Amino acid sequence: LDVADVIRPYPKIVEYLQQVKDDNFLDELVQFEGGQQVRDAIATYLDKYGMRCAGEIDITRTRWSEKPSILVPMILSNIKNLEPDASKRKFEQGRQEALKKELDLLARLKQLPGGEQKAEETKQIIDQIRNFIGYREYPKYDIVSRYFIYKQALLKEAERLVQANVLHEKEDIYYLSFEELQETIRTNKLDYQVIDKRKNEYRLYEKLTPPRVITSDGEIITGQYKRENIPAEAIVGLAVSSGVVEGRARVILNIEGADLEDGDILVTAFTDPSWTPLFLSIKGLVTEVGGLMTHGAVIAREYGLPAVVGVENATKLIKDGQRIRVHGTEGYIEFL
């Protein structure tokens, strides 16, 4: 949101960013009025968060720093859908809502027998949670920060192997185990059949749809949701964030395609922390994968968005642009 605010006053830059296809756009920005300022704002953001990306636990995934154009649709979406200074307003609004909820909860506790003491103890717990809850994000931030350093170091080694004609391209190291890579660096020899075989296997595995439930013994369990009083044409999932919302479905499988309007409902396979910026523009969430405590469900509750997850084939059954109604309390989606 803050980066969007820096760009917002410069319509020529906004227009230019709408055409961006490659990753040299940061250097091109300086030719525009305000370009240096905008470039600095994006660079500062990337310095802090550029090691993140979708599926970031996989070290081979392209990081925002490696391909900054991934962020452009999200920035443009914020410029289009939100007012200037939305960052501070949204934060303050959330703070006030939390405070109101706290006062309401404590007032209700005081009505109970021994209520004064219960309210006092609850107030202490609320304060502790408010102080410390943010730290839950630090381990992941730290892990992903280090992963990026590891990745850069590994690719530097891979570059040397390309120069020595051992590797065809540096990304081929993604198909080697760490020990195999060490051996390749030590001997400058590599059996390319191993990499070709694994590339073919990877392409095959990408086409597979994993089962919804596998037990710890490896047993695959199939079944359907048992629900009553649900409209015949509705599709069913898990209710994870209460409320009902209607809007245009945006079926988005990767963040680069995130052209959102205010009030859209995000329909996707799953979300992870890199998707969080999109939650600023949407009014509801539907995912194919997930449960009560998976990322999308937790963030939807934090942002007060109705959400239904665990909806089998949601990205195929719901068409992009279709109007839908998400019943976050009951756990189903209607087509309008």
DSSP 8-state secondary structure symbol assigned to residue 136: G
Determine whether 327 is an active site residue. no
* Residue 155 Rama label (left phi>0; alpha psi -120 to 50; beta): alpha
Q: What is the 3-state secondary structure (H, E, C) of 73-123?
A: HHHHHHHHHCCCCHHHHHHHHHHHHHHHHHHHHHHHHHCCCCHHHHHHHHH
- Boundary-marking domain end, from 47, 81, 115: 81
Catalytic option among 8, 63, 283, 295: 295
Tell whether 129 is covered by a domain.
no
Tell whether 289 is covered by a domain.
yes
273-309 per-residue burial string, b: 16 or more CB within 10 A, e: under 16: bbbebbbbbbbbbbbbbbeeebbbbbbbbebebbbbb
Tell whether 222 is covered by a domain.
no
- Record the pTM: 0.80
Q: In which residue are the tokens 């600095």 written?
A: 40
* pLDDT (tens place) for every residue of the chain, 336 residues total: 999 999 999 999 999 998 888 778 888 898 899 999 999 999 999 999 999 998 888 999 999 999 999 899 889 988 988 889 988 998 898 899 899 999 999 999 999 999 999 999 999 999 999 899 888 888 989 999 999 999 999 999 999 999 999 999 999 999 999 999 999 999 999 999 999 999 999 999 988 887 878 899 999 888 778 777 888 889 999 999 999 999 999 998 887 777 788 889 999 988 888 888 888 889 999 999 888 988 889 989 988 899 999 998 899 999 999 999 999 999 999 998
Tell whether 24 is covered by a domain.
yes
Half-sphere exposure of 251 (CA within 13 A, CB side): 13
Residues contacting residue 140 through CB under 8 Å, at least 6 positions apart? 273
- Boundary-marking domain end, from 54, 81, 108: 81
CATH classification of the domain holding 247: 3.50.30.10
Half-sphere exposure of 249 (CA within 13 A, CB side): 23
Q: Does residue 202 contact residue 175 with C-beta atoms inside 8 Å? A: yes
* Residue 85 Rama label (left phi>0; alpha psi -120 to 50; beta): left
How confident is the model at residue 316, as a pLDDT? 92
- Boundary-marking domain end, from 46, 81, 116: 81
Angle at 100 between CA 95 and CA 101, to 5 degrees: 100
What residues pair up with 334 in beta bridges, in sequence order?
Answer: 325
Tell whether 224 is covered by a domain.
no
Tell whether 190 is covered by a domain.
no
One-letter amino acid at 148 equals: F
Tell whether 68 is covered by a domain.
yes
Tell whether 124 is covered by a domain.
no
Task: Print the domain residue range for 323.
Answer: 235-335
Q: Does residue 120 contact residue 301 with C-beta atoms inside 8 Å? A: no
Number of structural domains the chain divides into? 2
Quickly list H helices, the chain: 2-7, 11-18, 25-28, 35-49, 72-81, 86-110, 115-132, 138-163, 178-187, 192-206, 295-303, 314-317
